[in-house]
Structure 1
Amino acid sequence: MSSLSVNVSVEPLDEYQVQEITYDGQEKYIQPLSMSENLTKMVQKIDFAKIDTEASDGTNGVEAMDETPEVESKELATFQPSLWPFDSIRNKLKQALTEVTVLYDVLSICKDKRYLVLDPVSQEPIENKPITALVAKKKALATVATIISNGCDRMRSAQTEANRNRSTDFHSELFQMRQNWRLRKKENSILGDLSYRSAGSRFPHSGTFEVTKNEEQCTSGTGSRASALKVKVPSDLEGGSFFQVKTQKDNEVIGDGEVSVPIPPVLQSNVDLNWHQKLENAQNVLFNKELFAQLAREAVQLQLPIPTTVIGNQIIASLFPGVQLSIVLCHTTIHGKIKHQKNSSLAIPSKQDSPNKPVLEHSLHQLLRELHHNTLHHPMPHPTTATLGVSRKRYLAGPEAYDRQTIAELNKSDTILEQIIAQTQHDLLRLRTMFMIDTLASEIKDPIIVAHWLCLNSATKSSVKINIVSYGYESLCRTPLVIHISTKSLKAILRDGRVINMSYESQELRYLLLNQVSQHQVFAIQALSKPMGWKVLSLNINVGVGHVEPIGTASSIVLVSPNGDRIIAIRCGPHSGIEVKMCSSPQEFYASALVRDRKWQNLTGSYREVDWERIEGKNFINKIEYLMASLTNY
């Protein structure tokens, strides 16, 4: 034995061999041989005659080894064992297995008094006899019959299960409905709730619907099975409804929008809707009814200079003089007809026929949902320590000694109608401001008016920054101003920090921008005079002499050349435009008895107007630069 130890992993072979696989996939195995049968089989494979011959040849080979090396190499090559590295280990394992097997047999004989018997094991297949073939055929037919019978049983059970599921679809769909809708059982009927009471609504409509089993379950032509539930909603909640919000001036629609959950096209046919879509449409109708009732109640109580009108299903409110806001509730039945409660002659355009207004589309739904939220979510502290619904500022009314007017302002809150009117006024005023700025920018080519609108705005406030620059001299001078747009007024913050409040009239904004354009030209000339070496004698943005401007006030600037012999006077008015005059010195001197000293010849003479059209240049500042350069004499 070698001193080296080697770990050997022995894995037994699968003794069960597959004899046959039936039609239904079942496998039949062959029983393994017993130890005696296995020994007999192994013994029958041994050719004892061949072993004796090899033994005799091996002896002769050993004797011939001493004679010649060539014969030795040939004999060794004949009986050389396998070159597999683990061949010796395998042989030892086989030998140990044989010894253990023999020992087991000896012990069995000694204990059970049984002798070793070697039964012959046939290796060739046994010839099938006729009776054996008949039995095999009968067995095969029985197997086929069993397979067919099992398949029929499975099909019968599947059909039975389908019928049972069809009867239980009512309960499964009812369970699915309970996950999305509030249901309760009253006697033998199942009732549901479509209202928004759990969300904070106080609308008196019950919103009750009834759930029954659909006895007319049938499969449609498309292969889809009908629902097992049948839902019955109140007649006033059938179909779909939507809001139409319009702003019009002198019977001319400025903009409108429709507010509603999209109505599916199946509403316009006689096909019954599934219960989920039908309940969603009914709840949308109920929500719109509550919203219109809230708006109508607020319109009656609201006190405005021009009273709000409620006619049937239409609410008309005044925004600006001659501009009105119209809110109409429309109801679409299952047959595709649009109902108006009293005003059925209104023409309702579709969404594709009019521009879309996102603010008006979403504000109504958002405001009502915010009202529902505020009904349930009251400010702290809770009713355990204070009155329900009182704001935190009112708690401080006593300690802070608020007067009656301050307390009244704290209790004041805007209604849904007031908020939607304010948002619509802001939207219209913003459109007017945008149109006025764009129109003025297209009319005035010099200087350039650039508007930057803020992308983050609120529903009632927005702002725009306007920069007035001269082409080619953007870095030299820039006149900025910011305009804040509210609901009924504009506020402009000028370059020098002055704040100007304006009304909703667009002409006031136009006059302000024209005045800023004229002042920009003066400020640009002042900035240009520094690099040109000219000195500013006077600068006035509110000229009090000369003809009066219809809008705003004129601005003026007086410049003198570096050596003091040329003077340029410029006057810019919002309406009159630009006037440029110049004078020069010395003048021609004529001595007289009154003035004899020649020093008086350095006085400047009269101003002469410059022919502005004949001066070269792209814009006003470029022409002024050319004029300054030509009049400079060093």
Structure 2
Amino acid sequence: MYGSGQTTSVQPSGVNIAVEAGHEWQIQEIGFDGVEKYIRPPTYSDHVAKMAHRVDWRNLVGSDASFDNPSALPREEDDESSEEVEKPKLEMEDRKVPDAGPWHTVAKNLHEALQQVNVLVDTLAVLKMPYLEALTVMDSFEMNHNMQDVVQQSKQFQWVTKRKSLLEVIAVLEQSHKLRLKSDVEVESDKEVFFQELKKMREQWRVRKTGNVVYGDLGYRIFGSKYNPSELFDITRRSLPTSSDGETSSQQEHALQVQVPCDLIRRSTIAVSVEIDDMDSKDLFAITESDLDYMRVEKEKATEVHWSLALQWAQESLICRDIFNQLSKEAVLLKEHIAMVRDGVLVVSLFDNVLLRIELCLHPFEEGELPMKGDEYLGRCLRQLFVSEQCTRWVRHQMFIAMPLTTLPESVDLRGPYAMSANETECRNKPKRLLLERLMSIASHYVLTNKVASTLERYLLRVSDPQVTWNWLRSTSAMSAIIVTASNRNYDYIGKTTFYIRIEADEFYVMTKEGQRIDCRRDEQMLTYTIECQVCSYMLNSVTMVVSKLWQWQVLHANVNAIDDDAEPSPTLYICNQSATRAIFMQFHMKSPPTVRMRKCSPEKPMVGDEADSFVLLNYDRLIGSSLCRKVDNLCAMLSS
């Protein structure tokens, strides 16, 4: 019928129908694994029971029918059944509870009488209460009045009594209304003050509310966990004080009341000082009786302190306690220094006979200025070191989540072609120094700086010629530099000489302008000795400039390395005039004026034997002039004339 290679396609007749239930199963719950649990649809018996509950059986059976005996219900039968003997119906009234003996009715009546008597007794007790009595008491009437007057007076009396009672009630209501308005205004103002102070507190402190409890955090750490249980303080609303007349006084200092931890109800300070260990030193661990006043803690008085001061003092006590605890733990790790801790006092040896003393001072939780103990600069440095350590993020967050956290700085933690090996990274990454070690370094530098400054001041008071001045070139907590300048007044063409004093944490030394380093260790006498040597060399150069530039004298000999009989440095200078008729020999001493000798010589007759040593010693104080350069200038002028 069809050609080869052709196929037949049979198309169905009609439409496609999908039969589904009209009521889908309800979902009861969906588990964590995604499985859905459905509510099974009701069965036929469930539907029958549900429909049976909706049938009003009493209307069908009758209101007087009993469900206990279904056989007693009337049946509709034919005429033959009506002729049968009718059975008696069981009514609800006939179904009575049997009596409990012959005295049942008597007991029931007695019980009802007892209830009535109890009600009467309660009514009389209520009427006898004083605050339920009438505000006014009626006057007694005489019995000799006639009945009409009594009735008339009783009506007037009742009218006056009711009016007076109403007036008293009005007065009481007006007074209560005034007091209510006043109390409402005070409560609203007190609430407003409370929330304003709470808002102000939240600007400075961390505050949180859990349930009906409001509390805050005294912690000072930026990184790490917050709301440590030992550092929490409770915030409550201060109750309004009442006056003698029962009115609440709205004048009060603050509406907030805080309760800080008991171990922080004190004022604390850290006293850092430098002590000298010698025969005259005091007891480093002595405690006076007044230092124990902080132990008398009264919580009632502590709550009366203003919340801003109380929180500030409590946090200061917490910081001081943590600082001292950290220093005490680090004192055990010191290797090159001796440390002792006892009774809130930490003593560490710095160098030689110098000790660093750190004391945790405790004071009562009261207003007033605290006594200043220790060195203010060292205490401020300790506080700055501790705070900077708390503000430093030691664990640096990575840019990518898959990379681990690291404590290396960005300059060392490199990637790609700039990456370094582990050994090179360890060499460049400096280990973290202890807080106590950094404080000891600052204290040592502070002590050496004071030594150098006092040495220079003493030298300037002792020496007036030449004019020596010093200035701070650099001053830090770890390294300082001082520039010392020596000059001659009114002789600017001579020039100035400068040298530097550099102070480190463990020593100080002098650097000349030629780059020569002269170590002085920590000895003040060596520093003074070095300064005097530099000044002697400068005086030799100054005299040489004066005689050669102004008077054209010849310098025959200048020895900076010469010494005197006591093996002390004493530079010498030998000069003569152009005609070789006068010669001057000068020797500069470190702690005394220079020695000036002069002699007269003849160029035609050379001196031999004892004549060669015939120098005349000149009195330095008798020479004319206020300074060495002026004296030499006047001496050359006299010899030239």
1:182-331 alignment runs, 5 A limit: 182-199=206-223, 206-215=230-239, 217=241, 224-225=251-252, 227-249=254-276, 250=278, 252=281, 270=301, 272-304=304-336, 306-331=337-362
- Compute the displacement of 1:386 (Å): 5.9
State the distance in 2 between where 1:395 and 1:369 align.
26
State the distance in 1 between where 2:300 and 2:629 align.
70
TM-score normalised by the chain length of structure 1: 0.61
The question of whether the paired residues in 2 share the 8 Å contact of 1:218 and 1:226 is answered with no
Q: 1:331 to 1:247 in 2, by over 3 A?
A: same
State the distance in 1 between where 2:625 and 2:300 align.
71
State the distance in 2 between where 1:617 and 1:213 align.
83
Select which of 481, 487, 492 maps to 1:469: 487
- Compute the displacement of 1:313 (Å): 1.2
1:15-34 alignment runs, 5 A limit: none
Select which of 492, 498, 515 maps to 1:497: 515
1:112-151 alignment runs, 5 A limit: none
Select which of 492, 514, 528 maps to 2:532: 514
3-state secondary structure, aligned to 2:464: coil
TM-score normalised by the chain length of structure 2: 0.60
Select which of 533, 557, 565 maps to 1:538: 557
Q: Which residue is equivalent to 1:334? A: 365
- Compute the displacement of 1:316 (Å): 0.7
Q: Which residue is equivalent to 2:626? A: 618
Amino acid aligned to 2:520: M
State the distance in 2 between where 1:578 and 1:167 align.
86
1:449-598 alignment runs, 5 A limit: 449-454=468-473, 457-529=475-547, 530-543=549-562, 547=565, 549-550=567-568, 553-574=569-590, 578-586=594-602
- Compute the displacement of 1:378 (Å): 4.0
The question of whether the paired residues in 1 share the 8 Å contact of 2:482 and 2:500 is answered with yes
The question of whether the paired residues in 2 share the 8 Å contact of 1:426 and 1:488 is answered with yes
State the distance in 2 between where 1:205 and 1:542 align.
73
Deviations 1:90-123, CA, capped at 9 Å, x for gaps = xxxxxxxxxxxxxxxxxxxxxxxxxxxxxxxxxx
User: Is 2:204 the partner of 1:180?
Assistant: yes
Deviations 1:254-303, CA, capped at 9 Å, x for gaps = x9xxxxxxx9xxx9994711222222211111111111111112212122
Q: Which residue is equivalent to 1:66? A: none
State the distance in 2 between where 1:337 and 1:239 align.
13
The question of whether the paired residues in 2 share the 8 Å contact of 1:269 and 1:336 is answered with no
Deviations 1:345-368, CA, capped at 9 Å, x for gaps = xxxx933xx7x8442131122111
The question of whether the paired residues in 2 share the 8 Å contact of 1:268 and 1:336 is answered with no
Across the aligned residues of Structure 1 and Structure 2, the Cα RMSD in angstroms comes to: 4.2
3-state secondary structure, aligned to 1:301: coil
The question of whether the paired residues in 1 share the 8 Å contact of 2:256 and 2:307 is answered with yes
3-state secondary structure, aligned to 2:530: helix
Size of the aligned set, in residue pairs, is 445
State the distance in 2 between where 1:223 and 1:215 align.
11
Q: Which residue is equivalent to 1:414? A: 433
State the distance in 2 between where 1:222 and 1:431 align.
59
Q: 1:517 to 1:206 in 2, by over 3 A?
A: same
Structure 2 residues not aligned, in runs of 5+:
1-175, 285-293
The question of whether the paired residues in 1 share the 8 Å contact of 2:397 and 2:405 is answered with no
State the distance in 1 between where 2:349 and 2:262 align.
35
Deviations 1:153-185, CA, capped at 9 Å, x for gaps = 999867644433435654554444333322233
Q: Which residue is equivalent to 2:128? A: none
Q: 1:583 to 1:235 in 2, by over 3 A?
A: same
User: Is 2:415 the partner of 1:388?
Assistant: no
State the distance in 2 between where 1:453 and 1:216 align.
61
State the distance in 1 between where 2:607 and 2:188 align.
124
Deviations 1:385-424, CA, capped at 9 Å, x for gaps = 5642212354369968679698356332332212222222
Q: 1:278 to 1:606 in 2, by over 3 A?
A: closer
- Compute the displacement of 1:433 (Å): 1.1
State the distance in 1 between where 2:421 and 2:465 align.
55
Q: Which residue is equivalent to 2:382? A: 364
Q: 1:224 to 1:166 in 2, by over 3 A?
A: closer
Q: 1:493 to 1:445 in 2, by over 3 A?
A: same
The question of whether the paired residues in 1 share the 8 Å contact of 2:597 and 2:618 is answered with no
Q: 1:525 to 1:240 in 2, by over 3 A?
A: same
